[in-house]
């Protein structure tokens, strides 16, 4: 993977190993932003081309997750994706239960709890001591009153990878819908919506997909689209976005009905560049490379006497490795002083490699941890 590293200028001076927070910026993404700015300077507006970029990004999201482009909505964030979808769900019938998790990213859990005024009931699945979701607890919570089960692909706090196929089966056996928040894993973990049998998938471009804030997406199972009418809508959600009708609402016949207003056009340029780069590298190749780096990191941490938050088999670990700390913010700051960029959550140092990382980054992290053992828990 060394030939890719040169495309990311930050590695000229920094060990950047924080893709769980924000992917490193490539020359290609920078050039995409410049293309947008050049368009603004030379043409002022070019709506038809911008709409094409929007559709290009949709195509690439679809390719990433094994879906049809018509089943993918391009939004401004994972939160916007989820909010639009939730606005189309009915909590007035016998099925009004939402089963989310103790691993939920705040925006996901907050969105579900906001629906209690519409009749929703919300329960949280706990995780096991090893960090994955407790499937026995899930089975106990999911019943004939459950409308939707919502789980993360990878826990944002510590990096455990959940068994999505098994969770989907539990949800569907009870007649519930299944939603996956893929933000912390997509681009680092292979994912096929049909193989895993998910109904909905949300994600965004700023982490492992090598772009920036301003672009998210929503996958919806094709057979569900026609019966879902989002109450949060906009002109990009219409069957004909250029018709400019104002005396009705004519949602698109495909997943575009979950889109809303004007997209974040500059971010679309970067998202296209990032997805092109990632798809060229290949998620299977990325997964194998990162697993090797993570194994070296985990072995090194335990060798220093540190504690892994989730000491899981490689196949059950997402792209991120979490290390327990007595003061996680101080540890992040100590590493940053050594030109190592990481992040933290919930008392954990988060170290998240991608295909552009190599053993020099892992060795730098381990050396810094050795120098700051007092901050390890």
What's the confidence (pLDDT) of residue 148? 98
Residue 327: beta bridge partners?
Answer: none
- pLDDT at position 311, please? 84
pLDDT of residue 112: 98
Residues sharing a CB contact under 8 Å with residue 129, sequence separation 6 or more, in sequence order: none
* Dihedral sign of CA atoms 271, 273, 274, 275 in order: positive
Query: Are the C-beta atoms of 181 and 189 separated by less than 8 Å?
Result: no
CB atoms under 10 Å from CB of 282, counted, come to 12
**Whether pTM exceeds 0.85:** yes
- pLDDT tens-place values along the chain, 377 residues long: 668 999 999 999 999 999 999 999 999 999 999 999 999 999 999 999 999 999 999 999 999 999 999 999 999 999 999 999 999 999 999 999 999 999 999 999 999 999 999 999 999 999 999 999 999 999 999 999 999 999 999 999 999 999 999 999 999 999 999 999 999 999 999 999 999 999 999 999 999 999 999 999 999 999 999 999 999 999 999 999 999 999 999 999 999 999 999 999 999 999 999 999 999 999 999 999 999 999 999 999 999 999 999 989 999 999 999 999 999 999 999 999 999 999 999 999 999 999 999 999 999 999 999 999 999 99
Residue 375 to residue 64: CA distance in whole angstroms? 39
> What does the domain layout of the chain look like in residue ranges?
2-25+282-375, 29-278
Hey, is 301 helix, strand or coil? helix
What is the fold of 2-25+282-375? 3.90.1150
pLDDT at residue number 71: 98
User: Can you list the alpha helix ranges (DSSP code H) found in the chain?
Assistant: 2-5, 27-42, 47-65, 78-87, 106-113, 135-141, 164-173, 193-196, 222-225, 265-281, 283-303, 328-337, 359-371
- State the Cα–Cα distance between residues 57 and 117, nearest whole angstrom: 35
- Tell me how crowded residue 42 is: count the other CB atoms within 10 A of its CB: 8
Alpha carbons 132 and 58: distance in angstroms, whole number: 31
Q: What is the pLDDT of residue 2?
A: 63
Which of these CATH numbers, 2.40.160.10, 3.40.640.10, 3.40.50.300, 3.90.1150.10, describes 29-278? 3.40.640.10
CATH topology of 2-25+282-375 equal to that of 29-278?
A: no
């Amino acid at each position: 993977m060394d030939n890719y590293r040169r495309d990311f200028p930050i590695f000229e001076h920094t060990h950047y190993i924080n893709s769980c927070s924000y992917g490193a910026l490539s020359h290609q993404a920078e050039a995409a932003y410049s293309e947008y700015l050049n368009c603004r300077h030379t043409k002022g507006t070019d709506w038809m081309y911008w709409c094409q970029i929007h559709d290009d990004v949709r195509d690439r999201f679809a390719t990433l997750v094994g879906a049809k482009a018509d089943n993918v909505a391009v939004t401004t964030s994972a939160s916007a994706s989820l909010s639009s979808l939730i606005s189309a769900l009915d909590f007035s019938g016998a099925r009004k239960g939402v089963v989310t998790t103790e691993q939920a990213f705040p925006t996901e859990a907050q969105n579900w709890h906001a629906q209690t005024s519409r009749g929703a009931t919300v329960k949280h699945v706990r995780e096991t001591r090893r960090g994955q979701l407790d499937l026995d607890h899930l089975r106990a919570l999911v019943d004939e009153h459950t409308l939707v089960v919502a789980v993360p692909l990878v826990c944002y706090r510590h990096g455990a990878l959940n068994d999505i196929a098994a969770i989907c089966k539990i949800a569907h056996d009870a007649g519930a819908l299944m939603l996956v928040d893929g933000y912390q894993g997509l681009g680092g973990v292979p994912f096929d919506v049909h193989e895993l049998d998910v109904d909905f998938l949300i994600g965004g471009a700023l982490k492992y997909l090598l772009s920036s804030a301003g672009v998210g997406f929503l996958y919806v199972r094709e057979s569900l689209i026609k019966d879902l009418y989002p109450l949060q809508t906009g002109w990009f959600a219409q069957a004909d976005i250029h018709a400019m009708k104002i005396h009705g609402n004519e949602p698109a016949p495909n997943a575009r009905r979950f889109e809303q207003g004007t997209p974040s056009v500059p971010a679309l340029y970067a998202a296209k560049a990032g997805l092109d780069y990632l798809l060229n590298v290949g998620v299977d190749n990325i997964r194998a490379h990162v697993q090797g780096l993570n194994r070296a990191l985990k072995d090194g941490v335990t060798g220093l006497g540190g504690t892994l938050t989730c000491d899981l088999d490689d196949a059950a670990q997402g792209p991120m490795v979490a290390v327990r700390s007595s003061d996680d913010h101080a540890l992040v700051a100590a590493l940053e002083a050594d030109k190592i960029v990481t992040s933290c959550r919930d008392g954990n140092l988060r170290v998240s490699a991608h295909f552009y990382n190599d053993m020099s980054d892992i060795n730098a992290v381990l050396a810094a941890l050795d120098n700051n053992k007092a901050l390890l828990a």
